[in-house]
Amino acid sequence: MSSTEATTATTTVAAPTVVPVALGKRGYDILIGPGLIDGAGEELARRFPGSRYAIITDETVAEHHLDRLTGSMTDAGLDFTTVELTAGEGSKSFPVFESAIDCVLSARLERGDLLIALGGGVIGDLVGFVAGVVRRGMRFVQMPTTLLAQVDSSVGGKTGINTRHGKNLVGVFHQPSLVLADTSALDTLAPRDFRAGYAEVAKYGLIDDPAFFAWLEANWRDVFSGGPGRIEAIATACRAKAHVVKIDEKETGPRALLNLGHTFGHALEAVTHYDGTRLVHGEGVAIGMALAHEFSVHMNLCSPDDAARVKAHLEAVGLPTRLQDVPGGVGTAEELMQAIYQDKKVKRGRLTFILTRGVGKSFIADDVAPDVVKAFLGEKLRG
């Protein structure tokens, strides 16, 4: 099925690729393929008979995909209400969180009913948090419409909102009951947003799968153009994340590896005040991964050639890799350090970074000396 066919209203949906997340009673399937939003009603009716739903989305996503979803659910005879929020990182806030809870309670959804997160990472994180606390825990379905959400934030049960102190500092672990990753939805993304999501795809190769990173170097154009490589890349990323979540659901050990590039990246988002016109999450991760490899070189852990290879690939696909690539600057080394200290991996004031011994050889480095990090950032800020 072509992407054009997949975006038309139809009940004929190609058989999706299925990636199971094996968490016992909390386990669920990730379905990956084109046209899944169009077939969502039938899928939901089969898996969750008798349930009612609240679809929570944002205005931008609603314009592209809400009619497809509501049409499918209406055809399947499902009872649902819809909630449209303001698009953007600003919605991951206490006021919007409270507003979304009020909408769910006003709709009189019961504990056994389901919320549907239709959107990117912001909607997925917010709705998952709402589901995690309303009536002490409701079920929810992730329907990620961005590449970043399909390969990362929709899988694994991390939910949350931001505060003035940093990103995702308030939230809960709450696993979805189903993930529907409609790859045809990615055709509506702006090129910048698709590139930003690709940073999270590349991350899985850089953590522990050098063969996948090499495959991406050879096939990234097919991923971007929507060829067969797109589904293969998304499925590979989801399998990698599902494996890590299975062995470390609450991020007490190896799951922290999934934060490769994120300590630097989250700090960059914080110092730019989550201004999506200057920097979006995936761009922060791209710069963060380049910095993590360069910092590993600085620490005599990694070959300069490996760091250069990572940087070259990210730049080839159009992603930023330097602090100077952020419009308006990122402040001082001291300001970046203050943001880094708010990272969730900090333990008793000690810094934890995901560093690397080469492509696909990442590891958790505890107790990294702050003065070494600050000196490295100062060097990078000077160019």
What DSSP string describes 174-195? Answer: ---SEEEEEGGGGGGS-HHHHH
Q: What count of Cα atoms within 13 Å lies in the side-chain half-sphere of residue 362? A: 29
pLDDT value of position 383: 84
Residue 264 scores a pLDDT above 80:
yes
> Can you tell me the mean pLDDT for 252-275?
93
In the chain, beta strands by DSSP E? 17-21, 28-33, 52-58, 79-85, 114-119, 139-144, 161-163, 166-170, 178-182, 351-356, 362-368
Angle subtended at Cα 248 by Cα 238 and Cα 303, rounded to the nearest 5 degrees: 70
3 pLDDT band, cuts 50/70/90, is very low
Task: For residue 37, say whether it is annotated as part of any ligand binding site.
Answer: no
Q: How many CB atoms lie within 10 A of CB 101?
A: 14
Distance of alpha carbon 205 from the chain centroid = 16
pLDDT digits 0-9 by tens, 299-322: 999 999 999 999 999 999 999 999
Residue 73 scores a pLDDT above 60:
yes
pLDDT value of position 367: 84
pLDDT value of position 14: 62
- Full DSSP string of 98-136: HHHHHHHHHTT--TTSEEEEEESHHHHHHHHHHHHHGGG
Comparison of pLDDT for 251 and 98, the residue scoring more: 98
- Mean pLDDT, the chain, whole residue set: 94
Q: How many CB atoms lie within 10 A of CB 363?
A: 17
Task: For residue 167, say whether it is annotated as part of any ligand binding site.
Answer: yes
Distance between CA atoms of 195 and 318, rounded to whole angstroms?
A: 7
Task: For residue 343, say whether it is annotated as part of any ligand binding site.
Answer: no
Residues classed as catalytic:
136, 158, 200, 241, 251, 255, 259, 262, 266, 281
Q: Which domains does the chain have, with CATH numbers?
A: 3-189 (3.40.50.1970), 192-381 (1.20.1090.10)
13 pLDDT band, cuts 50/70/90, is low
Task: For residue 121, say whether it is annotated as part of any ligand binding site.
Answer: yes
8 A C-beta contact, residue 353 and residue 263: yes
Helix (H/G/I), strand (E/B), else coil: 3: helix
Residue 206 scores a pLDDT above 60:
yes
pLDDT value of position 344: 61
> Can you tell me the mean pLDDT for 263-286?
94
Place of tokens 């970046």: 336
Helix (H/G/I), strand (E/B), else coil: 214: helix
Distance between CA atoms of 60 and 331, rounded to whole angstroms?
A: 31
What is the reported pTM?
0.91
Task: For residue 361, say whether it is annotated as part of any ligand binding site.
Answer: no
User: In the chain, how long is the greatest CA-to-CA distance?
Assistant: 61
Closest CA to 118 of 144, 79, 91, 150: 144
Task: For residue 123, say whether it is annotated as part of any ligand binding site.
Answer: yes
Q: What are phi and psi of 108, to 5 degrees?
A: 60, 35
Distance between CA atoms of 174 and 130, rounded to whole angstroms?
A: 10
Task: For residue 145, say whether it is annotated as part of any ligand binding site.
Answer: yes
Query: Which residues have a Cβ under 8 Å from the Cβ of 9 and sit 6 or more positions away?
Result: 38, 68, 71
> Can you tell me the mean pLDDT for 49-53?
97
Distance between CA atoms of 38 and 62, rounded to whole angstroms?
A: 14
8 A C-beta contact, residue 121 and residue 153: yes
Comparison of pLDDT for 252 and 266, the residue scoring more: 266
Residue 251 scores a pLDDT above 90:
no
> Can you tell me the mean pLDDT for 218-231?
97
Distance between CA atoms of 8 and 27, rounded to whole angstroms?
A: 31
> Can you tell me the mean pLDDT for 87-107?
95
